[in-house]
Amino acid sequence: MNRVSPLTKPWKPLVAGLVAGALLTVSSALHAQQLSERESRIVSAVESEADAAIALLERLVNINSGTMNFEGVQAVGSLLRAEFDALGFETEWVDGGPFDRAGHLVARHGDRGPHLLLIGHLDTVFEPESAFQTFEREGERAAGPGVVDMKGGDVIIVHALKALAAAGGLDAVTITVVMTGDEERSGRPLDLSKAAIVEAADAADIAIAFENGDSNPATAVVARRGSTGWRLEVTGTPAHSSQLFQPEVGAGAIYEASRILSGFYDRLAGEPLLTFNPGVVVAGTEVEYDAFSASGDAFGKSNVVAGRATITGDLRTITLDQLESARSVMRFVAGQNLPGTTAEITFDDGYPPLAPSDGNRRLLAMFDQVSRDLGAGPVSAVNPRNAGAADVAFTTGLVDMAIDGLGPGGGNDHTVDEWIDLPTLALQTKRAALLISRLAERPVS
C-alpha cells in the first residue's frame, strides 16, 4: 500500500501550534505569579519528563492493539500497568471474556480528598492486518496508529500523575483510573463491557477523560451525543409487478421502507443535535443481512414486488429525554404501514449521551483558568456535533461533574494519516496535573 506520510503533509495549524508552544515557554515566567509553589514544581516535573513521555508513547504505538487483537490490547495494558505500579497504585486487569474482548486496566490510589475517575482506552481501530503499524517522528510531529486516539491521552494520564507524585501532591486526592480495552468496538452485553467504568463512576465525584475530542487543545468536551443503533425490518407481499397496489398485494417492502425513512426525515430532521442515519439498506425478493459485518446480499427482479427490506442505522442524541422522544416518533412512523406491508423497528442500546450540565461547565471553567494561569490561553467547549460517543458518557448521572477531550492535539484519527502535535503532549499534561491538584486543594462546589 502506497500512501503519503502524514509527516510530510503541510499543515498550517501545526505551525500555529508550534508557535503557541514557544510562546508558552517564553510566557511561563510572566505567569509564574499565577501558580503556587507546588504548581510550579508540577510544571517543572512535567517538563523534565517530556522526552520520557514521548518515548512511552512510541512504545505504546508500536504495539498493535486493534480492539480484536486481544494479545496486543493486553500488552499495552501491561506496559501501562507497570507505570501505575511504579507510582504505588493498586492495579487490576479485568478479564474481558464475559463480553468477548481483551479486558480493562483499573488502577486505584489514595483515600483522601475528592475522588477522581480518570478515563482512557487501550485499543485502536487498526487491527494487525492494517498497513499502518508504527510510530514515525519528524521534528515536533509524529504519526502512528492510535497516536492521538488515544495512546497520547493515556500517556498524559500517566505523566500527570507522575508530576503530582514528584511534587508531593498525589496523596491529597483519591484516584481511580479505568483504561478500557474496547472503546473502539464495544463488547456485548454492554452492561458487562462498561461495568468497570460504571462501578468506578458510582464511587467517584468527578470524571476526567482524555480522548482527543476535536484534536484541538483550545477546546474541551462538556457534552457528547450518545449513539444508539436501530434496525428496521420491513415485509411486503411478493407478486408479479403488474399486481402492485392491488388490494391482495399492496405496496411492497421497498415502498414501505421508503415511506418510513421519509417519515423519519419529515418529523425529526432539523431538531437540534439530533441525527438518525440509515447506514445500510438491503432490499428485494430475497434478503440476507449479517449484523456483525454490517453487510448483506439481495436478489430481486424489476418485475417482482419486493418481499423484504432490512435497514440499519444509528441515532445520536444529546439527552436521554431526546433519545426517548426520537425513539417514540420512529416507532410511530414505522407502525403506519402501507397496504400489504408490515414493519418492525428495534433499538440496540449503545453509548448514552453525556448531557450538558452546570457541573460540567464549572469543571470546564476551572480547566480554562488553569490554562490561562499557565499562559496557554483560554479553553472553550466543543460543539457536541463535533464530539462523538465515548466512554465518559457512562458516568452520566453518577458523578457531580465530568469533562473530556483532555488528550493531545493532532488530527486524522481513525485513518492511516493519524498524527500528533508533540508539544501538546506536555501542554495537556501540565493542564491535567494542575487541574487535579486544584481539585484536591479547593474542590468545585
Give the pLDDT of residue 388: 77
One-letter amino acid at 204 equals A
Instruction: Report the alpha-carbon distance of residue 293 to residue 303 in Å, rounded.
Output: 30
Taking only the tens place, the pLDDT of each residue in 154-196 is 999 999 999 999 999 999 999 999 999 999 999 999 999 999 9
3-state secondary structure of 211: coil
Taking only the tens place, the pLDDT of each residue in 239-270 is 999 999 999 999 999 999 999 999 999 999 99
Taking only the tens place, the pLDDT of each residue in 29-68 is 444 458 999 999 999 999 999 999 999 999 999 999 999 9
Eight-state DSSP code of residue 323:
H
- Sequence-separated (6 or more) residues with CB below 8 Å from residue 22: none
∠ CA 176-182-183, nearest 5°, is 75
Provide the β-strand partners of residue 209: 119
Structure pTM?
A: 0.86
Eight-state DSSP code of residue 108:
E
Instruction: Report the alpha-carbon distance of residue 278 to residue 328 in Å, rounded.
Output: 17
Instruction: Report the alpha-carbon distance of residue 58 to residue 51 in Å, rounded.
Output: 11
Per domain, the residue ranges of the chain are 12-224+354-441, 226-351
Instruction: Report the alpha-carbon distance of residue 322 to residue 313 in Å, rounded.
Output: 17
Would you say 75 and 65 are in contact if contact means Cβ atoms under 8 Å apart?
Answer: yes
Q: Which helix (H) or strand (E) holds 179?
A: strand 174-180
Taking only the tens place, the pLDDT of each residue in 65-113 is 999 999 999 999 999 999 999 999 999 999 999 999 999 999 999 999 9
12 pLDDT above the threshold of 70: no
Question: Cα 37 vs. chain centroid, distance in angstroms?
Answer: 35
Span 12-224+354-441: which CATH code?
A: 3.40.630.10
How sure is the predictor about 134, in pLDDT bands with cuts at 50, 70 and 90? Answer: very high
Cell numbers of 321, please? Answer: 429525554
Give the pLDDT of residue 215: 87
4 pLDDT above the threshold of 60: no
Instruction: Report the alpha-carbon distance of residue 147 to residue 154 in Å, rounded.
Output: 10
Nearest to 429 by CA among 206, 118, 138, 182: 118
3-state secondary structure of 300: coil
- Please state whether the peptide bond connecting residue 114 to the residue before it is cis, i.e. omega within 30 degrees of 0: no
**Positions of E strands within 181-248:** 206-209, 219-220, 226-235
Give the pLDDT of residue 282: 96
Give the pLDDT of residue 18: 38
Taking only the tens place, the pLDDT of each residue in 270-319 is 999 999 999 999 999 999 998 877 789 999 999 999 999 999 999 999 99
Nearest to 142 by CA among 417, 406, 427: 417
Instruction: Report the alpha-carbon distance of residue 158 to residue 167 in Å, rounded.
Output: 14
Mean pLDDT along residues 23-34: 49
Residue carrying C-alpha cell 483532555: 406
Residue 304, number of CB atoms within 10 A of its CB:
16
Would you say 227 and 351 are in contact if contact means Cβ atoms under 8 Å apart?
Answer: yes
Residue carrying C-alpha cell 503541510: 10
Mean pLDDT along residues 113-139: 96
Taking only the tens place, the pLDDT of each residue in 373-431 is 999 999 999 998 887 788 999 999 999 999 999 999 999 999 999 999 999 999 999 99
15 pLDDT above the threshold of 60: no
The CATH fold assigned to 226-351 is Alpha-Beta Plaits (3.30.70)
Instruction: Report the alpha-carbon distance of residue 373 to residue 349 in Å, rounded.
Output: 41
For the chain, give the number of residues.
445
Helix axes 50-61, 37-48, angle to 10 degrees: 50
23 pLDDT above the threshold of 50: no
Q: Which helix (H) or strand (E) holds 115?
A: strand 115-121
Give burial (CB, 10 Å; 0-12/13-18/19+) of 151. buried
Give the pLDDT of residue 29: 46
3-state secondary structure of 404: strand
Strand order in the sheet with 342-351: 275-284, 308-317, 226-235, 342-351
3-state secondary structure of 29: coil
9 pLDDT above the threshold of 50: no
Give the pLDDT of residue 43: 98
